[in-house]
Amino acid sequence: MKVFNRRIVITLIAAAGAVAFSTGAWAAPKKIGMVLYDTSIPFFSNVITAAKKVADQNDVALDVQNGNRDLATQIAIVQQFITQEVDLILIAPGDPRGIVPAIRQANAANIPVMTINTKVDTSTGAKVATYIGVDDFVFGQKQGELLVKTVGENANVAYIVGQLGTSAQLDREAGLMDTLKKHPGIKIVARSAADWDNSKALAATQDFLSRFPKGSLDAIVDQGPEGVNGAKQARQNGRDDVKFIMGDYPADVRSAIMDGTVVGTINQDPTPQGKVAMENAIKWLDGKQSEVPQPYNYLDLPTVTKDNAESMPPAWGG
């Protein structure tokens, strides 16, 4: 009788274990590694917040690492994730080509990789499940369209770009030039890289305004939002001859649009990028790859001007 009861108990325990395993109740949390090329950029703070929220809601262990704008650091972090046997890697690389060897190492380890906000060059054999973010070529085209609408068919324009070599910098510039080739009277007369940095964008704006006296420069286009302080300073110094167009839509850019300091911007919202990236990663690991848009999951890119800024909350900032 005791032997019989013991067999029943063992059978019940085994059955319970099988049910728990099949429902995932006792399974270890999924591990996802995220490396962003510079977590100190305010934009990425909102990406991280949104991603962590989805991770917490789905019992996912999310490890966010700072690439510090350094390729060697980003490669080391990816290799660390491989050693830790994470289930999936999300990456916003600073160098779309330089990071390729690390992505190929993840591929060899059968760890799926998704890119967020910036792309990886997949022409050299790196395999990426999908990209989550905006179409930066379209972003640049839309900045060009707004520029044409603002300055007409003949103008001298200065251009502030982000971190050189990133997919966002390259694609936005290509998109802008694609639009401007239809408007040959608009000339890019000066160009400066500001690395998505406020102080560098301000310095670039000051340099442009000193090099081009009043009446000789019609507009300054910035790939990011960092040039807003330069726009404010220009207005304070009486340089209302220069029109400013930004990229992205934090609170200070919204305020500058509403008071007329900035003509407009293209709204790349970081929160959906973090949210959708994590949702896509979880679907992929749950075997629902067909539900993940591939090879790109492009998000909306509305143009914001004084006409619609009041009804459109900022993408981030107080």
pLDDT above 70 (res 22): no
pLDDT tens digits for 258-306? 999 999 999 999 999 999 999 999 999 999 999 999 999 999 999 999 9
Q: Which domain holds residue 158?
A: 136-267
pLDDT above 80 (res 28): no
Residue 142 lies in a domain: yes
Per-residue confidence (pLDDT) for residue 124, from 0 to 100 = 87
Domain count, the chain: 2
Q: What is the distance between the alpha carbons of residues 80 and 317, in angstroms, rounded to a whole number?
A: 33
- Residues 127, 141, single domain; the answer is no
- Residues 231, 147, single domain; the answer is yes
Beta-sheet pairing, 264-266 with 303-305: antiparallel
pLDDT above 50 (res 10): no
- Residues 143, 249, single domain; the answer is yes
- Residues 151, 250, single domain; the answer is yes
Q: Which of 267, 283, 309 is at the close of a domain?
A: 267
**Using an 8 Å Cβ cutoff, are 90 and 277 in contact?**
yes
pLDDT tens digits for 53-72? 999 999 999 999 999 999 99
- Residues 56, 162, single domain; the answer is no
Average pLDDT over residues 205-219: 97
CA-closest candidate to residue 141, choices 303, 317, 29? 303
Residue 228 lies in a domain: yes
**Using an 8 Å Cβ cutoff, are 275 and 48 in contact?**
no
Give residue 113's pLDDT band: very low, low, confident or very high (50, 70, 90). Answer: very high
pLDDT above 70 (res 9): no
Per-residue confidence (pLDDT) for residue 150, from 0 to 100 = 98
**Using an 8 Å Cβ cutoff, are 77 and 38 in contact?**
no
- Residues 260, 282, single domain; the answer is no
Question: How far apart, in Å, are the Cα atoms of 232 and each of 189, 205, 244?
Answer: 22, 10, 10
Per-residue confidence (pLDDT) for residue 27, from 0 to 100 = 65
CATH code of the domain containing 221: 3.40.50.2300
